[in-house]
Structure 1
Amino acid sequence: MASLQYVEKIREFNRYYANVLGKIDQEIYNQPFPLTEARVITEINFRNGCTATEVRETLGIDRGYMSRIVQRFEEEKIVIKKQSTDDKRQYLLYLTDYGKEVFNGLVENANREVGKMIQAISKRDLSKLITSMETVESIFSKEHSSQSELSIRSFRSGDVGYVAHLHGKLYEKTYKFGRMFEYYVMKGLTEFMINTDGGDLWVAEVNGKIVGSIAITKSNDTVAQLRWFVLDENYQGLGIGKKLMETAIHFCKKQSYQQVFLWTVSILDTARYLYQKYNFTLTEEKPNEEWTGTKLVEERWDLDLSDENQTL
């Protein structure tokens, strides 16, 4: 049994932090969307095609309460149900355009209120706070995968096809990207295999299973492109994306690239957050109607590696 001293300290921290979270929640989440409903909206936004059961189990919500929330959100045109193509008995939840406006409003309100909460904290203490939060998250994530062995390695024969498979499977299931997107990925990977000069492709393996990838390709002598960054959604939250990103940026520095850029789409909120974390900046936007049949916004993000202050 764990030492009583550790148990009591953890419980003490839990009581204190619960009060902090309670204050944040009280400031951020007001009617007509209290905390639980706001979390449901957020979960549906990020999953973009999930069952009510998946949301309920993730958030620990009572079945009856979840049913009432979904019914209300349908009536208020916040969510829409679509029959699953894989299982006709299931219906998947998506945010409507109005629902996305609601979600964006929640995010803006949350950012504003948390910004007020931390504005009196020094940059040094704020950095320590974020590092401590990441440490707590990392340790408890390991608790869920204590038997997992993670490795990041350069690609070998047979890996590239699986990288294309990961892209096609994830983007079709989660974002409804079509065959043209899968063709675009496979075409680029094929060209990369013919000429890997100045670049590399890495895969992340958990217990020998490929769960993610990232690559660097040479644009010119001083500029590199970051490509094929993907992570199996079942392995998100374990720090794998961070390790892949750091591997790619470290490679760019070793190759003496002065700049690295990437293309993404505006709906990939988790990836865009990670790019911002590593000091990429949005530099260009353009429309895309090829991949989903609806208008997407492609974004170019750039990272200046010649900046002496730029660190991992």
Structure 2
Amino acid sequence: MELMQAVEKIRKFNRYYANLLGKIDQEIYHKPFPLTEARVITEIYVRNGCTATEVRETLGIDKGYMSRILQRFEEDHVIRKERRADDQRQYVLYLTEEGKEIYHRLADDANREVGKMIQPISKSDQAKLVTSMETIESILASEAPPEVMIRPFRPGDVGYVGHLHGKLYRTTYQFGQMFEYYVMKGLTEFMLDNAGGNLWIAEVNGQLVGSIAITRSTEQVAQLRWFVIDEQFQGLGIGKKLMDTAISFCVEQGYRHVFLWTVNILETARYLYRKYNFSITEEKLNAEWTKSTIMEERWDLELTNQEA
């Protein structure tokens, strides 16, 4: 079958199925829970401990609209929020007992309407229908996972690293211009002299999403710097790939020790540093980067037990 024929048939089926589901939805979803809100309730019930971002991206809901839905649900005691154990900046969502009752009512209504739709169909055709749906789901769900690639930096990448730091730390942690200056100053120095070091870029399907670097402190000591990942691409194992690349490079270069500086509010990164056996060796207060004072931390790792 030619590509355009396949596209037209798929679009024709989509129009038919969307109209069919629309008629069912009109019977099921009504005030106070229209279709989108019902889908949010269902997603939270099925995932049972998910972030708002996960639900929003799965359902393709506008960020502002999603925020209003969750605010209303919280006020009406439909959902409850809990801080994530591994990242205190994020909340996970659960249905309350009242929310679970609402979900079960919606599910019962949906089952009733779908049952009415397929009741006139013979059992053999029902089986064909279900099998066809399973086939569609299986084929479309088997698309290739995101391609994650770690590569050495190229011309133009260093500016991106500075941009990502400035954007992420400003929007997520309210860091000011002094922090961005600190990052850009270090990157400029790296561009002038990167002997004994390297900078790597993380890509997802060709899109730049993160970085990590090693710079030489002394002949035997390296510093890990500019470790950052776009928050939209967390959960793909990018942090581990970047850390493995940097540590392996240190071992290959004959460094016996590597250290890094971070701040105590970066829980996700600190969790990863612990997994790689880094330990805190120094702390100092910093009142320059944010409106409130934060704690800078030095983390160190001995490489004498690492194998090249």
Give the TM-score normalised by the residue count of structure 2: 0.57
- Please list, as runs of the form range in 1=range in 2, the aligned pairs for 1:103-122 lying within 5 A after superposition: none
Amino acid at match of 1:183: Y
Amino acid at match of 1:170: L
Q: Secondary structure at the match of 1:66?
A: helix
Deviation of residue 66 (structure 1)?
2.3
Deviation of residue 57 (structure 1)?
6.2
Q: Is there any run of 5+ residues in structure 2 with no aligned partner, and where?
A: 1-48, 54-61, 90-140
CA contact (8 A) 1:43 1:55 kept: no
Amino acid at match of 2:194: T
Q: In the alignment, which residue of structure 2 is the partner of 1:66?
A: 74
CA distance in 1, matches of 2:76, 2:64: 13
Q: In the alignment, which residue of structure 2 is the partner of 1:288?
A: 286
CA distance in 1, matches of 2:239, 2:186: 21
Q: Is there any run of 5+ residues in structure 1 with no aligned partner, and where?
A: 1-38, 45-52, 79-94, 105-142
Larger Rg: 2
Q: In the alignment, which residue of structure 1 is the partner of 2:299?
A: 301
Q: Secondary structure at the match of 1:221?
A: coil
Q: In the alignment, which residue of structure 2 is the partner of 1:181?
A: 179
Size of the aligned set, in residue pairs, is 203
Shift in CA distance, 144/54, structure 1 to aligned 2, threshold 3 Å: farther
Deviation of residue 62 (structure 1)?
6.5
- Please list, as runs of the form range in 1=range in 2, the aligned pairs for 1:260-299 lying within 5 A after superposition: 260-299=258-297
Deviation of residue 279 (structure 1)?
0.4
Amino acid at match of 1:165: H
Q: In the alignment, which residue of structure 2 is the partner of 1:244?
A: 242
Are 1:222 and 2:220 counterparts?
yes
Q: In the alignment, which residue of structure 2 is the partner of 1:169?
A: 167
Deviation of residue 68 (structure 1)?
4.4
CA RMSD across the alignment: 3.8
Q: Secondary structure at the match of 1:246?
A: helix
CA contact (8 A) 1:56 1:63 kept: no
Q: In the alignment, which residue of structure 1 is the partner of 2:6?
A: none
Deviation of residue 146 (structure 1)?
3.2
Q: Secondary structure at the match of 1:282?
A: strand
CA contact (8 A) 2:152 2:198 kept: yes
Q: Secondary structure at the match of 2:215?
A: strand
CA contact (8 A) 1:201 1:216 kept: yes
CA distance in 1, matches of 2:167, 2:222: 27
CA contact (8 A) 1:56 1:66 kept: no
Amino acid at match of 2:167: K
Q: Describe the superposition over 1:142-189 as per-residue Cα deviations: whole angstroms up to 9, x where unpaired.
A: x79835222111001000000000000100010000111111000000
Q: In the alignment, which residue of structure 1 is the partner of 2:156?
A: 158
CA contact (8 A) 2:74 2:80 kept: no
Q: In the alignment, which residue of structure 1 is the partner of 2:253?
A: 255
Shift in CA distance, 287/55, structure 1 to aligned 2, threshold 3 Å: farther
Q: Secondary structure at the match of 1:270?
A: helix
CA distance in 2, matches of 1:218, 1:147: 36
Q: Secondary structure at the match of 1:198?
A: coil
Amino acid at match of 2:218: N
